[in-house]
Every structure is written in C-alpha cells, then in structure tokens.
Amino acid sequence: MAAELLMGNNAIALGAIRAGVKFVSGYPGTPSTEILETVAKRNPGDIHVEWSVNEKAALEAAAGAAYAGARALVTMKQVGMNVASDPLMSLAYVGVKGGLVIACADDPGPISSQTEQDTRTFAAFSKVPVFDPSSPEEAYEMIGDAFELSEKYGCPVFIRPTTRVCHGCASIDVSDEIKDCKPEGFIKDTKRWVIFPNASYNNHIKLEKRRETLGEELSDYKYNFITGDGKMGIAAGGISWANAMEAVTAADIDCKMLKISTPYPFPERLAVRFLEGLDKVLVLEELDPVIEKELVFLCGKYGLSTKIFGKLTGDTPCAGELTVEAAKASIAKFTGVDIPVAAAKTDMPKIPMRPPVLCAGCPHRASFYAVKQAMKGKKAVFSGDIGCYTLGNAMPLDMVDTCLCMGADITIAQGIHWIEPDTVNFAFIGDSTFFASGMTGVLNAVYNKCKIVIIVLDNSTTAMTGHQPHPGTGVTMMGENGTPADIPAVLRALGVGFVETVDPLDLKAAVDTVKRAADFGEIAAVVFKSPCIAVTKTDASLKVDSDKCVGCSRCVNEIGCPALTIKDKKAVIEPSLCTGCTLCSQLCPCNAIGRC
Amino acid sequence: MTDILITGVGGQGIVLASKLIARAAIDAGQHVRTSETIGMSQRGGCVVSHVRVGGVQSPMIPLGNADVIIGFEPAEAVRCLSYLKEGGAVIVAKKGVIPVTSSLGGGKYDPDEMIEYLKKNVDRLIVVDGDAICEQCGSAKVLNVALLGAAAAAGLPGISPDALEQAVASMVPAKFLEINKMAFALGMNTCK
C-alpha cells in the first residue's frame, strides 16, 4: 500500500484491475478516456485491453467476454452510451455471467460534450443498476462493489463518474492485491443467451423484482447513508455531495443529510427513514432531477408531507455544474441562513475571450482553407463532425455549418443535397470518426446515388481526446503493430468512384484536388493526409522578413493561426508556437515569410 | 489547509505544475485534492487547475478561497482573481499570450494593462519574466517549473521549496531534468 495521486479515472482503472477484470474495451471520449489508458499502462499481463471502433462494438465485445465468465469493463462518455444503447437495452434482459461494468462518464457544464444527458436516467431507462461516486477514493472502492453486484445478480452495472470526479485527483492508498477470477468459459445455453420475445416477457418480470430487491439491499450499502439531525434535510449524490458538504461545513449548518450513491435502484427504505420527521428537503444534484423525483415519489407513496425542493421547484440550477457557490446560494435560500459567498470582481479591465482553437500548424486549418478557396463564389454547405476539427467553425475559417453527432456529417450532407441539389455538399470527417461511424453513411450515399463530397481529415490519430490509436494506425492497446486500415481502399470498396489522397499543406495541389472532386458528378472523396502536430516531429519555425512584409494582415485574417500576430503593422510569428507548416507563407502575397 | 489555483492557456504545462505541487504535498504527508481542465480547452483555451492541500471535500476551490494564484499569463490571472482570498499572493508571468480572437480585431489585448490591474488589486504580487528564464534555459517548455520556483521562493503555505524541488526531480523525465532544475533555480532567484 502506497499513497498515489490518482485521477478519478486512474482510480477506476486500478480498482477494476484489483477486482480481477480480464477484458476492457471502450471508445475515447472526454472525460472517460484515461480509464482504459490506465488499465493498458498498468496491465498485469492477463487483461485484454482494446480501443474498439465505437461504443456499440465495445459493449458487445465486453458482453461476449462476460458471457464466457470473465469480469469485463467498458468505458465511454455519456454520448457514447447513445451509440451503445442498442446492445445495452437487450443485455439488461439477457444478463451476464462474469461481472460486466460500464464506466460511463457524464459531463455537467457541459465542458467537452454535445449534451448534458444523465447516465443515471439511462440506468433507470435500461433497468441497469448505477453507482455514482463523489470522489476518486469512492470510485476506487465502488468499481469493485459494482463487479460484485453484477455477478451476484447476473446483470450489467453502471458506474457513472462526472468530470470533476474523473479529472479530480486525490491521494489514495492503492492495494497490490488482485482478486483471483478465472473465467469458466462460454457454456452453451440458448434459453439463456438467445433473446426471444417470450423469454423477454419473463425477464421483464425478473427485472422489476430485482429493482425491489436491490432497492432494499442497497438501503444498507455503506455509501448510501444518513448523517445529522433536524427538521430540514439536504439530499445529494455524486460530486454534488462533495460540494454540498463543503458548503454546509463552511456555513456551519446542522441538518439531516442523505447521500445517494446508487440512484437506481433507489435505496427506498433508507430514503423513507431520511424523510420521516422532516419538514422540507433540498436536493442538490447535477443534470437530471433524479434523486428529487424519487423523493417526491416516495412522499406520495408513503403519504409524507415533507416538501421537496430542487430543480423542479426552481430552487437549484436546472443546467450546468452545481458549484460550491451554487450550492451555498441554494442552501442559504432553503435554510434562511446567511451564507457569505465571495463576490466575483466587477471592476476588471476587459479580458480577451479565449475560445479553444486549432493549434498552430494543425493540418486541419490547411484542409479547411483549401476547401474554402476551391469553393470561392460557389454555393456550398460544409457539414462538420466531432473532433478537433469542429474548431474549424471559428472565424476566420468559418467552415463548419453543421455538427450533430459522430458520423452525422456524411448523412446530413445527403439530406441537404436531396432538398437542395444545386448546392455542393461537403462532409468533413476525421479518421477515427470515419471508422467509428462514418463508413455506413458513405455506403448510404453510394447506394442511394447521392452526390456529396467527403473530406476525410486523416491526421493519423484520435487527436481531441489525447491521441489514441485507431484502426487506421494499426497500433493496438496490447502494444501490437498491425496493418493499418486503408481509408482510400475502404472508400473505393464501398463504391466511391473518385478517391484521391493529398497533403493539405501543399495548398495548390489541395485546392486543385477539391475542385476536381466537386466537379466529378458523383459521390467523391478527398483524403487530406497529414499527421497531427502532436504526434509528429515538426519543422523549424518560420520567420517574417519585415522588409518585405507590407502589413496587409492577409496571413492573420485568412487562416487565424495562433502563432501569427500583427505588431507595429508587420506580421510576427511566435517561434515557440510555429511548427513550420508553411501554410501562411503559401498565401503571403509578398513572399515575406520563410525559413529562419 | 492551503488552496492553490494555477491558471493559463492550454499547452503551457499547467497540469504538470499542479501535479508537482500535489506530489510535494503528498510527500510531506498531506492529503491532496486537485481538479484539472482536460479536453477541448487544452487547444489554446483557458485552463485552470485547482490544488487543495489538507482535508477538504470539494476538488474545486470556492471563490475567495485561494491562498495563492499562479498565473501563466496576465489576462488569465486577472480572469481568476475572484478566487483569491484577501491577503493572498499572485505569482504571474509577464508575457501575454495573444488570443486569435484579439488578432482578428475582437478587442485589443494589452498584457501590461492586466499587470497594472493586478498591482492595484493584489497585496502580494510577484511578476516573473518567464520568457527570459525560458530563453536562458533554451526551452519555452520550462515556464511551468520556472513559475513554481518563484512560487516556492515566495512561500507556498505548507509546501517547502525543497519538497517542490524533490518533486521536480522525481517527476520530470531525465532528458529534461537539467533544464528544469535550472528553470526552478532561476525562478527562485526572481523572488530573492
């Protein structure tokens, strides 16, 4: 045992290893990514670890491992659960043999996500139990409890940390012991493993009974508990529990508190014991009003007159994070106790906005710019997708007209085409996203003879989530170097007639290729191949010859590179940022930018 | 209990800085919680790390609670100033990072104006010429350790300069250790 500074995601990984996990799959997504990476890094040697092509593949493969009796872990972010929901809904009915835990990270705020959806709601919807840790320490313990529960009841189980638990670090004593779990192997039993309507009817009854049984059992779970006393109560779960405790401690308020660590099945007996004798309860939670609705339901069921305050009554924020400040404000209003909150300063000078941007030297900037140049004066719509390249929406590129979900660029472009055939419809997709959910969309276009132009931004990595390998790299999480999947070959095999690969940093060739693709007359694809600057050795920075520079600002205004600024009416390149990509030098009208 | 807030721009090495402080505190037998910005903001956006030493519940520092703010960039230090407690210290790098929005005409950004504001509003302000230190060390990547050196010399409550230097030695890859040690020493010198 040694105290390690562990991120919540590291803690979940090490807790899973301790619990004897033998199969780990997932798809990268902030804030969940480091869970799987940590298992791979600390693999004792007998765990199969893989980045699957998407979340559906990850969950199905893990289900197979669990059918064969192994403990299996699947990792993803909340929107990944939407992709994995098809196998999840059925798996809840079929069940598992070895423990199967889905670590699905939610992102209140949202900080790096499309939605503020709540995996606790998904858990109730799919009838799958869920653990909700409020700290990395709890996450480390709960992942083991989740495996035990999964095996005891033969059902998949969720653990859903939120961003502040995933990316919060704490010093934790890590055990070296690993539970000895030897998989029994797959035992054929069609009644058990083949889902059929009549079996599902019976399984549905079992699921409802299990909810009651578990609600009772989890009322005694060590991380569901009541503290304090009084006529007023506060109920909270997840990171909101930590923030509520911080606020209550700071304000020195004495009240009855209920911590909910298993929002589904809800620990009913414990919650009723909490409600009894209380005049009113404030519920502090992020995303959906899950605990709040359960308490309102219990008050109705047991005829209690306790009033429940929270999101549904407008007493806590309905969206975004529940910060310590927000918790303090809600508690102050609820208790009538004046809780001082440090006011944000108001006399500040104007602070510049600093939205995230494509890095200096990012090949995506060149790709977007090439398409923009090729389509100058033409009617075109640019559908984008999820990844670093969503940042192509920022000025001055302004090259992302739509962004919905993984893979949707290719299919949305098709819908726009059928309604507006005189528009050139571009679909921008990254290499990892192409494999995750782009390929079926391409086939859909080919099959239905839809004329779109696909731009694959192949930077040889899953960049946004921190540079994970994918099928196009051939590298696996088991350390093998296989044959990389060939994107142009896949496009041709799917029936795309025009497929050309070009380096986007060669501006002239890139623009020319895009023009020919747009004029092709059928579905066409351009693969812009240039590695992410973070995974390759970059060139020496460029320099502006101030004698030649006329200060036209074309370089700054056209491409918005963070390494370029204007100082004293001349362009200046920040050498610590410039990667020598040469895009700016190719568009400088005065030939003023070159190697040092 | 000590709260240290580290703020700057994605890519400046903020996450490592917070890990170094946390390591030093853990080695001194203290409990630590931190909260990091990981994800989209790392692409040149605002990045804030919270480091909380001692028995706390939340990983996030409440407003008005930070003992120390380490600003890797003047505007980001100002943006986070509401976190500073009364009488708290700010260590800030002098050089501004001009955002693309500003270059494109979205409001002029003058880092010196931010430093002036900090001078007026912070009891204990230490401005570090991080650029000069980076130049001396021959790497733009040592700004984080240079600022930690300055913070260590200025006094991080509950964390000794020795413990911090030890953390640098144990966590920085061997290849870069010498220039980081140099940056730490030069950072400490700016406060002497």
Dig out the tokens for A71 from the structure: 């403990």
| Of the candidates A320, A417, A339, A366, the residue with the CA atom closest to the CA atom of residue A558 | A366
Q: Do A169 and B32 touch (CB under 8 A)?
A: yes
The predicted structure's pLDDT at residue A23: 98
Query: Considering only alpha carbons, which residue of chain A is nearest residue B134?
Result: A576
CB contact under 8 A, A354 and B45: yes
Residues from chain B contacting residue A245 (CB–CB below 8 Å): 57-58
Cα A97 from Cα A99, distance rounded (Å) = 6
List the Cα angle A411/A526/A356 in 5-degree steps: 75
Pairwise CA distance, residues B151 & B89, whole Å: 9
CB-based contact A192:A63 (threshold 8 Å): no
Q: Which of A448, A285, A171 is nearest to B31 (CA)?
A: A171
The reply to whether A2-218 and A542-595 are identical in fold is: no
Interface mutation vs chain A, best among B15, B103, B109, B135, most A CBs within 10 Å? B103
Return per-residue pLDDT of chain B as tens, 192 residues.
899 999 999 889 999 999 999 999 998 889 999 998 887 777 788 999 999 999 888 999 999 999 999 999 999 999 999 999 999 999 999 999 999 888 887 778 999 999 999 999 999 999 999 999 999 999 889 999 999 999 999 888 878 899 999 999 999 999 999 999 999 999 999 886
Crossing angle of helices A34-41 and A8-18, in 10° steps, is 50
Alpha-carbon distance of A497 to A445, in angstroms, equals 12
Determine the distance in angstroms separating the CA of B81 from the nearest CA of chain A, rounded to an integer.
Answer: 8
3-state helix, strand, coil in chain A (%, to 5): 40, 20, 45
B124 at interface of A, judged by CB pairs closer than 8 A: no
Using CA coordinates, name the residue in chain A closest to B143.
A576
pLDDT of residue A2: 67
SS3 A519: coil
**CB spacing of A352 vs B9 below 8 angstroms:** no
What pLDDT does B8 receive?
95
Domain boundaries A2-218, CATH class = alpha beta
CATH class of A363-529: alpha beta
Mean per-residue pLDDT pooled into runs of 10, chain A (596 residues): 86 98 98 98 97 98 98 98 98 98 97 96 98 98 98 98 96 92 96 93 96 97 97 98 94 94 98 97 98 98 98 97 95 93 84 92 97 97 96 95 97 98 97 97 98 97 93 95 96 98 98 98 97 91 95 95 92 92 96 90
Alpha helices (H) along A49-135: 55-67, 78-83, 85-94, 119-126
Where exactly are the structural domains of chain A? 2-218, 225-335, 363-529, 542-595
pTM: 0.96
Q: What is the 8-class DSSP label of residue A438? A: I
pLDDT at A63: 98
Q: Does B86 touch chain A (CB under 8 A)?
A: no
* Dihedral of the alpha carbons of A465, A471, A476, A480, in degrees to the nearest 10: -150
pLDDT of residue A341: 83
| Chain A contact for B80 (CB, 8 A cutoff) | no
pLDDT in the model for residue A257: 98
Q: A-contacting residues of B 136-155, CB under 8 Å? A: 140
Instruction: State in Å, rounded, how far the first CA of chain B is from the last one.
Output: 26
Q: What is the pLDDT of residue A3?
A: 77
The number of helices, as runs of H, and strands, as runs of E, in chain A is 22, 22
- Say which of A167, A171, A388 has its CB closest to residue B26: A171
Q: Does A341 contact B106 at a Cβ distance shorter than 8 Å?
A: no
> Is the CB of A344 less than 8 angstroms away from the CB of B39?
no
pLDDT of residue A337: 92
Report the residue of A79, A169, A322 to disrupt the B interface, i.e. the one with the largest count of B CBs within 10 Å.
A169
- B177 touching chain A per CB within 8 A: no
CA A564 from chain centre, in angstroms, equals 31
Contact call for residues A111 and A292 (beta carbons, < 8 A): no
Tell me the C-alpha distance between A324 and A331, whole Å.
10
* pLDDT at site A106: 98
Q: How many residues does chain B have?
A: 192
The ipTM, to two decimals, is: 0.94
CA distance A112 to chain B (A): 6
- Please give the Cα distance from A244 to B58 (Å, whole number): 8
Q: Which chain A residue has its CA at the smallest distance from B22's CA?
A: A5
Rounded Cα–Cα distance for residues A246 and A341 (Å): 12
Q: How close does chain B come to A367, measured CA to CA in Å?
A: 18
- Per CATH, domain A542-595 is 3.30.365.10: no
The strand pairing partners of A571, in sequence order, are A566
Query: Closest approach of chain A CAs to the CA of B39, in angstroms?
Result: 6
Cβ A200 vs Cβ A194: under 8 Å: no
The closest CB to that of A5, out of B22, B63, B64, belongs to B22
Backbone angles phi, psi at B6, to 5 degrees: -115, 130
Domains of chain B: 2-189 (3.40.920.10)
Question: How close is the nearest chain B Cα to the Cα of A245, in Å?
Answer: 7
CATH topology of domain A225-335: Rossmann fold (3.40.50)
The three-state secondary structure class of A256 is strand
Q: In what order do the strands lie in the sheet with A168-174?
A: A2-7, A168-174, B32-35, B46-53, B2-9, B66-71, B84-93, B124-128
B83-128, pLDDT tens digit by residue? 999 999 999 999 999 998 888 877 789 999 999 999 999 999 999 9
- How far is residue A355's CA from residue A361's CA, in Å, rounded to a whole number? 17
| Sequence-distant (≥ 6) Cβ neighbours of residue A372 within 8 angstroms | A397, A399
**SS3 assignment, position A554:** helix
Q: What is the pLDDT of residue A251?
A: 87
